[in-house]
Amino acid sequence: MNKIMITAAICGAEVTKEHNPNIPYTALEIAKEAKKSADAGAAIIHLHVREDDGTPTQSAKRFEECISAIRKLCPDVIIQPSTGGAAGMSDSERLQPLSLNPEMATLDCGTLNFGGDVIFVNTENTIKNFASKMQHLSVKPEIEVFDRSMINTALYLADKGFIDQPLHFNLVMGVRGGIGASLSEFDFLVNSLPEGATYTGTGIGKSQFQVAAMAAIHGGHIRVGFEDNIYISKGVLAKSNGELVEKAVRIAKELGREIMTPAEARALLGLKVSK
Ligand code: KMH
Ligand code: ZN
């Protein structure tokens, strides 16, 4: 079987220390969580950043501070800033980390209900604008899909030349308002991907390790981390992102998948050489 690429989504924008005291906020806390994840086997750190009080921010200065803190502890890991930020942020706010010329970044390909009155807005023009900027900077987009329709949008934009082939997707399953995390839904999404695409499976909440196992069995890649799930097992808070990555590694290895290094992940994704 092909090797597996593990992404750790260490912080997110929504989860707080009230949910799990181990959620990182400061640059040092974020860097330490990145290090634990990378040491456990993560090739990619999906990065959101916070102010010291936990407020989500897309400030380029804060991203720079956190990226340089991560680089000191783990020089090799791939850092994938979020351009999703937190629901309610403006497009220009969300785009700020691209000014740091990252190797890759997220490209959210549709609008989603996020519970209550909260809507995570990604109009077609927003997605085109974000995709064009990434293309111009040779930043590899990870196409975030929360439902099948978002794959359609990504394929349409690739066809129109906004996103370069080969496409890399993150199938996010189990967000209320998006697709669920059952085996048939997983199958449906994976069978909707174009020839030559790569994908990572992300399960939200209690589905985190179920989706990880489905992706590991099927030859896909996996994402775990506090952004998506704060428990290591039912009712038991995870001590660190590293603990979540370790569990993902155990699952993958039991299913015959060896773990990719950051260098191997860079080759798979065709990332640009400069950092
Ligand atoms: N926090 C969500 C509103 C991404 O990183 O691109 C968006 C999100 C997706 O987490
Ligand atoms: Zn995110």
Q: Of all atoms in ligand 1, which is nearest to the CA of residue 83?
A: 6
Residue 22: pLDDT over 80: yes
Choosing from 106, 169, 175 the residue with most ligand 1 atoms within 8 A of its CB, the one to mutate for a pocket test is 106
H/E/C letters for each residue in the chain? CCCECEEEECCCCCCCCCCCCCCCCCHHHHHHHHHHHHHHCCCEEEECEECCCCCEECCHHHHHHHHHHHHHHCCCCEEEECCCCCCCCCHHHHHHHHHHCCCEEEEECCCEECCCCCEECCCHHHHHHHHHHHHHHCCEEEEEECCHHHHHHHHHHHHCCCCCCCCEEEEEECCCCCCCCCHHHHHHHHHCCCCCCEEEEEECHHHHHHHHHHHHHHCCEEEECCCCCCEEECCEECCCHHHHHHHHHHHHHHCCCCECCHHHHHHHHCCCCCC
CA of 106 to the centre of ligand 1 (A): 8
The residue extents of the domains of the chain are 6-269
CA of 29 to the centre of ligand 1 (A): 20
CB contact at 8 A, 264 and 3: yes
The pLDDT tens digits of the residues spanning 260-274 come to 999 999 999 999 875
* Superfamily, domain 6-269: Aldolase class I (3.20.20.70)
Asked whether 144 lines ligand 1 (CB < 6 A), one says: yes
pTM of the entire predicted model: 0.98
CA of 229 to the centre of ligand 1 (A): 14
Residue 167: pLDDT over 50: yes
Query: What average pLDDT does the segment 233-239 reach?
Result: 97
The pLDDT tens digits of the residues spanning 102-154 come to 999 999 999 999 999 999 999 999 999 999 999 999 999 999 999 999 999 99
Judged on CB neighbours under 10 Å (0-12, 13-18, 19+), 268 is middle
Choosing from 14, 82, 114 the residue with most ligand 1 atoms within 8 A of its CB, the one to mutate for a pocket test is 82
Which one of the ligands is nearest to 13 CA?
A: 1
Q: Of all atoms in ligand 1, which is nearest to the CA of residue 108?
A: 6
CA distances from 202 to 20, 24, 118, 245 (A): 20, 20, 21, 13
**If you take atom 7 of ligand 1, which residue's CA is the nearest one?**
84
CA of 227 to the centre of ligand 1 (A): 9
Query: What average pLDDT does the segment 93-98 reach?
Result: 98
| pLDDT score recorded for residue 274 | 57
Query: Percent of the chain at pLDDT above 90?
Result: 98
Asked whether 226 lines ligand 1 (CB < 6 A), one says: no
Q: Of all atoms in ligand 1, which is nearest to the CA of residue 9?
A: 5
The pLDDT tens digits of the residues spanning 170-210 come to 999 999 999 999 999 999 999 999 999 999 999 999 999 99
87: phi then psi, degrees, rounded to nearest 5: -55, 135
Query: What average pLDDT does the segment 38-62 reach?
Result: 98
Q: How confident is residue 275, by pLDDT bands cut at 50, 70 and 90? A: very low
CA of 94 to the centre of ligand 1 (A): 10
Q: Mean pLDDT over all residues of the chain?
A: 97
**If you take atom 8 of ligand 1, which residue's CA is the nearest one?**
84
| pLDDT score recorded for residue 121 | 98
Asked whether 120 lines ligand 1 (CB < 6 A), one says: yes
